[in-house]
Amino acid sequence: MKKSAQAVIIGGGIIGCAAAYYLAKEIDDVILIEKKCIAGESSGANYGMVWQQTRQDGYDLAAARRSLEIYPQLCREVFDLDIEYEEKGGMTLFFTDLQAEAAKGYVEYKNSLGVPVRLLSGKETRSLEPALSSRVTGSLFCAEEAQLNPFYTTLAFARAAQKEGATIYQGVEVLSINLDRGAVCSISTSEGKIFTNHVINAAGSWAGTVGAMVGLKVPVFPHRLQSLVTEQIPKLLTRTIQGSRIARTSEEAAKTFQYAYDTTGGNRPCINQQPPAECIIESSLFYAKPTVNGNIVLGTACDFAGYNRETSYEALAVIAHMAKMIIPRLKDVNIIRSWANFDPWTADGIPIVGETGVKGFFIAAGHGTGMSHAPATGEALAGLITGSAAAIPLGEANINRFTGYREEC
């Protein structure tokens, strides 16, 4: 193992690999350390949606839109692997007339932010996706959204980083980070020590553990999401679809299109804020992703269960029920596998990206939608570290937005 590096990235998910690629383009001696294998956690277990209609105004939306801009170029010029990037548009379904009414205001708002989302009737929706049930009363459709294979995309970034000179160690765990007069000077791993003045915490749902190595609280929590996958079947869906919670009153309908788990009530989040108690049945949206191989991935059931990656019969049954109601033809299809993985969660739904009170210690973690953010995050972070101009400003994503952060450092 190498003894020193200009920068060490902790975590080989999509965020760490994208950061490694953009950094290695600018500086020599970039090392990425991954405890399991590339895309061994969330980045290999998600639905691969690159969406903007669900993103919050500000940093969240800017990062998604910038990524939608960069991906096609990466596919053409950088990646040596087909990441199955398809610009098929994204669709959010709803099920009552009240929701169709609420959707109008939402579309206007999104359009004012530059998101080209459109309202489709039930009939228009089914003309695009004929397998959808007549319960669907309409949808929000955004043509400028894409889907990709999350595993191949992470791997493609890792390979691009290696081509730019980065070194990747898999099966190696970072155990501690050593400071000298308050600044990062080295890290200790399960395979030895590496001297470096820059460490990037891209440990996804484990960002808190890595933050604690320099005495920082990094308020990222593992949000468990359960999924099912069907056997390979002839084409049933064209694009990834998202369901919404059914709404029967106008109050409920108005909340249909609120996606962020904003537990802060519009205030600054607190560094000590814990995830809310959550019931799988109440909280989860429906997703169906047709893969290039003909399997359909179905989700989701969400809760906070620490790092428990077991699936539950109850959760899988509820997903299956939603699937049958929304796509009736799925009822005779076989389910071949299920899994649970962790979506990194923060109290305000925005990732934590940028420098910290510890010199040389950077964070890029807490991404609820890392596939939609990774290229922009990697690019911006590399800019921050090397001092070049930023394509998107990172200020809003800094950890210092959390009240109580300063006292902690």
Ligand X SMILES: Cc1cc2nc3c(=O)[nH]c(=O)nc-3n(C[C@H](O)[C@H](O)[C@H](O)COP(=O)(O)OP(=O)(O)OC[C@H]3O[C@@H](n4cnc5c(N)ncnc54)[C@H](O)[C@@H]3O)c2cc1C
* Residues near other proteins (CB under 8 A): 37-40, 44, 95, 135, 151, 155, 159, 168, 170-171, 230-231, 243, 245-246, 248, 281-282, 286, 293, 311, 313-314, 316-326, 330-339
66 binds ligand X (CB under 6 A): no
Q: Using alpha carbons, list the distances in angstroms from residue 204 to 3, 57, 342, 375, 377.
A: 25, 23, 9, 16, 13
Cβ at position 33, least distance to other proteins in Å: 13
How, if at all, do strands 7-10 and 49-50 pair?
Answer: unpaired
Q: How many CA atoms lie within 13 A of 316 on its CB side?
A: 15
Nearer to other proteins, 212 or 281 (CB): 281
369 binds ligand X (CB under 6 A): yes
Nearer to other proteins, 16 or 211 (CB): 16
49 binds ligand X (CB under 6 A): yes
Cβ at position 36, least distance to other proteins in Å: 8
Site string for ligand X, 178-217 (x = CB under 6 A): ------------------------xxxxx---x-------
Question: Applying CB under 6 A, which of residues 225, 237, 298, 350 lies at the interface with ligand X?
Answer: 225
Question: Applying CB under 6 A, which of residues 31, 74, 107, 174 lies at the interface with ligand X?
Answer: 174
125 binds ligand X (CB under 6 A): no
Give the total of residues touching ligand X (CB under 6 A): 42
Question: Applying CB under 6 A, which of residues 52, 153, 196, 372 lies at the interface with ligand X?
Answer: 372
Could you report how far apart the first and last alpha carbons of the chain are, in Å?
32
Query: Quick check: 145 and 69 in contact, CB under 8 A?
Result: no
Cβ at position 189, least distance to other proteins in Å: 16
367 binds ligand X (CB under 6 A): yes
Q: Structure tokens of 112? A: 């004012």
Cβ at position 34, least distance to ligand X in Å: 5
Q: Helix or strand or coil: residue 97?
A: helix
Nearer to other proteins, 96 or 196 (CB): 96
Alpha-carbon gap, residue 56 to 62, rounded angstroms:
9
**Closest among 309, 378, 392 to 343, alpha carbons compared:** 309
Q: Which one of ligand X, other proteins, none is in contact with 344 (Cβ closer than 5 to 8 A by kind)?
A: ligand X
Q: Which one of other proteins, ligand X, none is in contact with 196 (Cβ closer than 5 to 8 A by kind)?
A: none
Q: Which one of ligand X, other proteins, none is in contact with 202 (Cβ closer than 5 to 8 A by kind)?
A: ligand X
Per-residue b or e along 216-237, where b marks 16 or more CB atoms closer than 10 Å to that residue's CB = bbbbbbbbbbbbbbbeebeebb
152 binds ligand X (CB under 6 A): no
Q: How many CB atoms neighbour CB 396 within 10 A?
A: 15
Cβ at position 121, least distance to other proteins in Å: 18
Cβ at position 332, least distance to other proteins in Å: 6
Nearer to other proteins, 43 or 201 (CB): 43
Q: Which one of ligand X, other proteins, none is in contact with 281 (Cβ closer than 5 to 8 A by kind)?
A: other proteins
Q: Structure tokens of 4? A: 């020193």
Range 73-76, long-range pairs (CB < 8 A, 24+ positions) = 74/156, 74/160, 74/375
Alpha-carbon gap, residue 196 to 8, rounded angstroms:
7
43 binds ligand X (CB under 6 A): yes
Residues 343-362 that bind ligand X (CB under 6 A): 343-344
11 binds ligand X (CB under 6 A): yes
Nearer to ligand X, 84 or 253 (CB): 84
Side by side, the strands of the sheet bearing 117-121 are 117-121, 138-142, 90-94, 241-242, 287-290, 296-303, 221-230
Cβ at position 150, least distance to ligand X in Å: 7
Query: Which residue has tokens 């730019």?
Result: 164
Residue 45 CB contacts under 8 Å (≥ 6 apart), including other chains: 150, 227, 339, 341
Q: Nearest-CB residue to ligand X? A: 13
Q: Using alpha carbons, list the distances in angstroms from residue 58 to 191, 274, 307.
A: 41, 24, 30
**Cβ-count burial of 9 within 10 angstroms (0-12 exposed, 13-18 middle, 19+ buried)?**
buried
**Which residues are at the interface with ligand X (CB under 6 A)?**
10-16, 33-36, 40-43, 45-49, 173-174, 202-206, 210, 225, 227, 299-300, 341, 343-344, 365, 367-372
